[in-house]
Chains A and B, each alone.
Chain A
C-alpha cells in the first residue's frame, strides 16, 4: 500500500490514465463488432399511414374508387393456409434430380413435386433463412419481416411474447381471423392474437407424434369451416426426428411419408372446393419450413444445410397466373418422371411483406423485406383485368401486372425507408451515416421521374400500347434499393464484424503486458510476494482462475446452452464448498460458509422451478393456472402493482444514494457523479410512468418524448464515466488508503454505470440492483470480518 501511494505521489498516474483509455477504446471497438443488438421499436403500421407515402398522389390511385375496403395494397387472396413443417430441409421437397446423388430421404413429398411440375399455379421455392436458425428466432423473423438477433433490446426481456409490430398483429387488427394449431411456441409469441388455437407442447423432443397428431386432428375439419381467414398449422415431427436420430433414419422417412399423405388430403379438399362460389375459391396454400437442419438434425447456425429450407406455394384460383419472364429467376430440371420442374429462390426475410401484400394488410412496421415477385405473382397475378383491356396490345397483361407490382413496390420501399429512418433516429447503435446517405440516394433515385400510374406513362405511350421500359427500369430501381437495405441490415444484425473484434481484442491484450510491467517495476516485492510467497493465496488464485476459465469455456460449446444455468450454479456451489473447506481449515467463519452453501442450494432450486415453469407454460398453466396465480393476472390491482413497484424500487435506490452522499464528506467530483445518477433515476422513473398506460393517464405525462429521456440518460452516463476516468487529472489523492474514500469511489463507479444498465434491462432493473446492493453489503461485512 505504501509503495502504491509512493508511486502515485510521483505523478505516475499518466500510466493509469493511459491504461484506462486503452481499455475503454479496446472494449468499445470490440463490442462494436461483437454485440449484434437490435432495438425493438414500439411502433405499429396503420392503414391510414399509407397516405403519407408518395405512391398515391391525388387521383392517380387507380383502385381507390373501386373498393373502399382497400388498405395498403389490394387484397389478392381471400384465405391463406400456412402449413409449417419445422426443420424442412430443401432436399426434402425438391426433386432429387436437383442434387448430385439421390439420398434415401429425398422424393418423399411427391404430392408437392407432382403439382409443381404439372400445374402452373404451384411452385417450389428454395427459401433462404437468416441465422440464428432456431425456431423461435425464425418465427419472429417470419412474422416481423426483420432479422431478429439473440439480443433484441426491447420491452420483452424474459417474456417470449413479440411486442414488435408483426404479421399476426396486423392480421388481427385488420379483422382477419387467424386459427392456429400445432407448436405451442406460437401461442407464447402471440398470446392474444388468435381467434382459435389448438396448441400442443413442443418441449419434449423425444415425442414425435403428439403435436403432429393434434395438427392432423384439427387441420382437415377446419378446412371445411368458414370462420377463419388465415390458418396456421405447425408440424414438429421432422424437427424432433432429426434431433433424436438424424436425417438418415427410419422415423424421419416415415414422418415425411405421413406428411405426404396429409398434404395430399389437404390439397384434395382445397381443390374440391375451389370452384366458383366455393369455400376456397380464392385460397392460397403455403407449405414451408422455418429452417433446415444438418444431417445430424442440428440447427441454429448459418451453414447452408441449416439455412436452406423450402416453400411450396399454390394458388387455387382459376385461371392460373401469368408473369413477365424477365422477373422469373427460376432454374429448371427434369424430375424423375421426365417432367420439367422449376424452382425459384426466395428470401425468408421477404415473407412478411409478401404475405401482407397478398392479404392486403399493412406491412409490419419493422419489415425490411421486399415483396417477392414470383410468390406475389402466384397469388396476385390473376386479377380480373378484362375491364381494362382495350384491345390490340400483345403484352397488355404483363403491362397490367407490372404496373400493379410497381405500385406494391412503391409502398414497400416507402415503408422500409420509414423504418430505417426511424430506427436510426431512435436507436443507440444505429446505422452509419454514410450507409444512410447511400440508401437515401437510392430511394430518391427510385422515386424520381416516374410514378407507377398510367397517367405519367402516357408520355411514353407509343401508339396504343404503353412502353414497358420505364416501368421495368423503375421496378429495377426499387429492387436495388430494397436489396441494398437488406444487405446493410444483414451486415449489421447477422454478421459479426471480425475485423473490429480483432482490433479491440488486440488493444486489450496490449494493455495487459503494460499493466504487468507497471506492477512489476513499481512494486517488485509486494506483487511477487503476494503471488508466490503464500502458497495458500496462490492455490486460491489458481482455483478462482480455473473456475472462470471453465465458465468461459462452457460458452464455447453450444451443447451447454440449454443447461447454462445449471452449469453456473454447479460452479458456484463448487466454489462454496472450497470456501467451506478453507474455513474448516482456518476454523473461522464456519457459519457464514455453511449459510453461503445453503443459499446457493436454494438458488439452484429456485432456478429449476423457474425453468420448468417457463418450459411448461402452455401445458401446465392452461390446466393449473388457478392455483398458480391466486390473483387474476388481469386484475387492476395486479397491473397497478406491476407498474408501480419498479418505480418505487428506483426511488428507494435514489434515496439510498442520497443518504450515503449526505453522510460522507468527500471530494466534489464524486459527489457530482452520484448526483448525476440520482437525476438519471428520477428521469427513468418519469420515463416509465409516461410509458405505462395506467399511470400516464393519471399523471398526464404522455407528452414527453419517448426516446428523448433514454438518450439523456446515455449521455449523462457517458459523461460520468469520462469524469471518473479523468478525475485523477484534477486532483492528486493523498489519502488513497482511506477506507471511506475507496468506498465512495467504488460507489461512484457503480452508480455511473447503473442508470444505463437499468434503462436497458427494463423494469426488473431496479429490483435486481437492490438485490445486488444487499449482496454487496454482505460482501463488505464479510471482508471487514476477514480483515479484523
Chain B
C-alpha cells in the first residue's frame, strides 16, 4: 500500500480549497433558497389571483430556476474537484497530473450514466420533460462519487472495490473519497423521502430535494472525513520524514 503522506504545504492548500468551495456552495445554496422563495411567493400569489389556468407552466418555470442553481454549482465545482483530487493520484511517478485530470473528466459522463440508472431503478421519473433535470442531477452525483475516485485510482478495479464495496479506506485520501461519496448517496436517498408526500410543494419535484439531500450528505461527510484525516496526517507526517 503506497503511503500518501501529506506534507504541510499541500495540507494548507487542501484546507484553503475546501474552505473556498464550501463558501461557494453555501452562497449558491443561499441564492437558490432565495430564488425558490421568490418563486414560491409568485406561485402562491398567482394561485390567489386565480390565475392558474396553466399550472404546469408556472411549475416548470419555478423548477427551471432551480436547475440553474444546480448548473452553476456543477460548473464551479467540477474543475475544483477534478484538479483537487488529481493532486492525490495514486502512483504519482507513473501517472502524470494531466492524465489524472483526463481520467476525472472521462469519469464524469460514465458516473452520471450509472447514477442516472440507479435513480431510475429507484423510481425517478422518466420522460422528455425530465431529461435535462435527470442529466443535471446525475452529473452532480457523478461529481460527488465517481470523479474523485477516477482521478485518484484510475481504472484499478481492486481499489474501486475496496472503497465502494468493502468500505475499507486505508490512506487519508481514501477517507476523503469514500466518506463523501457514501454521504452523497445516502443523503440523496434520504432526500427522496419527502417526494411522495402529498404536500404539493414545488421543492418536492424531482430532483430538487434529492439534490439538496445529496449536497447536505456530501458536506457533512466531507467535514467528517477531515476530522478523521487531520489527526492521521499529523501522525503520518513524522513517519514520512
Contacts and interface: CB of A to CB of B under 8 A. Distances in A.
B199 A559 contact: yes
A601 B121 contact: yes
B84 interface: no
B241 interface: no
B165 A585 contact: yes
Interface stretch (A330-338, A361-369, A562-570): A562-570
Contacts of B126: 605
B50 interface: yes
Contacts of A570: 122-123, 192
Interface in A559-601: 559-560, 562-563, 566-567, 569-570, 573-574, 576-577, 581-582, 584-585, 597, 600-601
A293 to B, nearest CB: 14
A303 interface: no
A584 B166 CA distance: 9
B97 interface: no
Contacts of A604: 121, 123
Interface in A535-566: 557, 559-560, 562-563, 566
A244 B48 CA distance: 11
Given A249-B48, A559-B199, A581 B122 contact: no
Interface in B109-150: 118, 120-123, 126
B119 to A, nearest CB: 10
A251 interface: yes
Nearest to A209: B53
A245 interface: yes
A254 interface: yes
A576 B121 CA distance: 10
A63 B68 CA distance: 78
A540 to B, nearest CB: 14
Interface residues of A, number: 33
Q: How large is the interface on B (under 10, 10 to 19, 20 to 34, 35 or more residues)?
A: 20 to 34
Interface string B190-213: 001001111110000000000000
Contacts of A597: 121
B47 interface: yes
Given A562-B198, A563-B196, A570-B192, A577 B50 contact: no
B189 interface: yes
Interface in A202-245: 205-208, 243-245
A600 B198 CA distance: 24
A250 interface: yes
Contact of B166 (A245, A563, A585): A585
B165 A584 contact: yes
B196 A562 contact: yes
B23 interface: no
Interface in B2-58: 47-48, 50, 52, 55
Nearest to A567: B196
B197 A251 contact: no
B121 A250 contact: no
A562 B200 CA distance: 12
A249 B50 CA distance: 11
B226 interface: no
Interface in B146-165: 161, 164-165
Contact of B50 (A251, A559, A574): A251
A154 B122 CA distance: 34
A629 B195 CA distance: 33
A573 B123 contact: yes
Contacts of A251: 47-48, 50
B121 A577 contact: yes
Contacts of A250: 48, 50
Contact of B118 (A243, A562, A577): A577
Interface in A414-433: none
Nearest to B55: A206
Nearest to A571: B122
A341 B52 CA distance: 38
Contacts of B118: 577
A573 B192 CA distance: 13
B196 A245 contact: no
Contact of B165 (A249, A562, A581): A581
A252 to B, nearest CB: 11
Nearest to A245: B47
Nearest to A569: B123
A512 B143 CA distance: 47
A249 B44 CA distance: 11
A585 B200 CA distance: 41
A678 B19 CA distance: 71
A559 B199 CA distance: 8
Contact of B123 (A207, A245, A566, A582): A566
B122 A573 contact: yes
A649 to B, nearest CB: 30
Interface in A171-222: 205-208
A574 B122 contact: yes
Contacts of B199: 559
Nearest to A582: B165
A584 B126 CA distance: 28
Nearest to B50: A251
Nearest to A206: B55
Contacts of A563: 195-196, 198
B187 to A, nearest CB: 14
B121 A566 contact: no
Nearest to B44: A245
A117 to B, nearest CB: 31
A562 B48 CA distance: 26
Most buried by A among B50, B55, B196: B196
A207 B118 CA distance: 34
Contacts of A205: 200
Contacts of B200: 205, 243-244
A600 B165 contact: no
Interface in A18-40: none
Contacts of A584: 161, 164-165
Interface string A383-414: 00000000000000000000000000000000
A249 B120 CA distance: 38
Most buried by A among B47, B126, B161, B164: B47
B190 to A, nearest CB: 11
A254 B48 CA distance: 11
Most buried by A among B50, B161, B164, B198: B198
Contacts of B122: 570, 573-574, 577
Contacts of A569: 123
A245 B121 CA distance: 34
Given A249-B48, A251-B50, A576-B121, A559 B197 contact: yes
Nearest to A586: B165
A352 B126 CA distance: 45
A601 B120 contact: yes
A581 to B, nearest CB: 6
Contacts of B161: 584-585
A546 to B, nearest CB: 12
A205 B198 CA distance: 11
A562 B164 CA distance: 35
A243 B198 CA distance: 10
Given A245-B47, A563-B195, 16 more contacts: A207-B55, A243-B200, A251-B47, A557-B197, A559-B198, A559-B199, A560-B197, A563-B196, A570-B192, A573-B122, A573-B123, A574-B122, A576-B121, A581-B165, A584-B161, A585-B165
6 contacts: A206-B55, A208-B52, A243-B200, A559-B196, A574-B122, A581-B165
Q: Which 6 A-B pairs have the closest CB atoms?
A: A563-B196, A585-B165, A601-B121, A559-B197, A584-B165, A206-B55
Interface of A: 205-208, 243-245, 249-251, 254, 557, 559-560, 562-563, 566-567, 569-570, 573-574, 576-577, 581-582, 584-585, 597, 600-601, 604-605
Interface of B: 47-48, 50, 52, 55, 118, 120-123, 126, 161, 164-166, 189, 192, 195-200
